Structure 1
Amino acid sequence: MGTWDVGPFDNDTAADFCGDLDEAAAGEREGIVRGALTRVIDTVDYLEAPESEVAAAALVAAQCPGGEPADPVYGSEELLPDLTGLRDLARQALDRVMTEPSELMGLWAESGGATWRANVRQLQRVLLPQPPGEQLSPI
């Protein structure tokens, strides 16, 4: 997997995932995101990096209060349906990515991934259900 930065869209897997979303029919996009998140959650053994679609969770978080917009270059260019109903799945998927055995955890541990971990933790916070009227505070 080619990686050029620590953001959720800064790798080949994320760019390919978003490209696949763009090529899919509009009515299939929510199912593709749901499927990516579910595959991660359902992985009991070693979670390989290409299965760790942090980008899918980031697309959900982008639609939540406090979420960062998807990357304008490598994120999905096509209109996505309302993904906020997937917020619990997205949070669970990120929890799994951050739990051993996870290839992404190992790869980032080897390369000093404190910023990557902070980015994932921020996505996890955005995905938590917020009481009405409350806003997320920045890191």
Structure 2
Amino acid sequence: MGAWGPGPLDNDTALDWQDALLRAATPADRAVVIRDALAAATTTGYLDYDLAAEAIVAALVVAASMPGGQALRSSAGLPEEADGIPVAAGTPALALRALDRIVADDSEWRALWSDSPQLYAEALASLREIREPLEAG
């Protein structure tokens, strides 16, 4: 695992997914990439770390587009190219379900971060920052 910090973009998987998102041809294609990442994280069974990391960035992009979420863009390090992605009805709710799944007992993301209580607390704090605009929106 190429993780070096508890933030949403502090790992290689998240950065690779962000690059794939930005390479999508149109804003509509980007919206599909986001929904696919969020949906993949809401499936049943053990949640793989890579799927969780991708869903966290997808949720971050959605949250940054919500009223009150613009500050997330710069604090998390999202590039300007992540602007202008249409957020379809239901996508914020899907993002919240994905975030819930990521911190559930059967998540590799949770298992890996919970090995270090301080880093786990920091990782959870970064997820709370993403949740706030999603819940308010």
**Quick check: TM above 0.5?**
yes
TM-score by length of 2: 0.83
Moved >6 Å (runs of 4+): none
Please state how far the C-alpha of 1:66 moved relative to its aligned partner: 2.6
Please state how far the C-alpha of 1:122 moved relative to its aligned partner: 2.5
> In 2, are the aligned partners of 1:36 and 1:51 still within 8 Å (CA)?
yes
Report the secondary structure of 1:77's partner residue: helix
Match of 2:124 in 1: 117
> In 2, are the aligned partners of 1:60 and 1:83 still within 8 Å (CA)?
yes
Q: Equivalents in 2 of 1:75, 1:15: separation in Å?
A: 11
Q: Equivalents in 1 of 2:10, 2:86: separation in Å?
A: 23
Closer/same/farther in 2, CA of residues 69 and 79 from structure 1, 3 Å limit: closer
RMSD across aligned positions (CA): 1.9
> In 1, are the aligned partners of 2:63 and 2:130 still within 8 Å (CA)?
yes
Match of 1:55 in 2: 57
Which sections of structure 2, spanning at least 5 residues, go unmatched? none
Q: How does 1:75-90 map to 2 (within 5 A)?
A: 75=79, 77-83=81-87, 85=89, 86-90=91-95
Q: How does 1:1-139 map to 2 (within 5 A)?
A: 1-26=1-26, 27-42=28-43, 44-52=44-52, 53-67=55-69, 68-69=72-73, 71-72=76-77, 75=79, 77-83=81-87, 85=89, 86-112=91-117, 113-130=120-137
> In 2, are the aligned partners of 1:61 and 1:84 still within 8 Å (CA)?
no
Q: Equivalents in 2 of 1:3, 1:51: separation in Å?
A: 14
Closer/same/farther in 2, CA of residues 126 and 99 from structure 1, 3 Å limit: same
**Identical aligned residues as a percent:** 34
Which structure features the higher share of helix residues? 2
Aligned length: 128
Q: Equivalents in 2 of 1:84, 1:65: separation in Å?
A: 15
Q: Equivalents in 2 of 1:3, 1:17: separation in Å?
A: 14
Which sections of structure 1, spanning at least 5 residues, go unmatched? 131-139
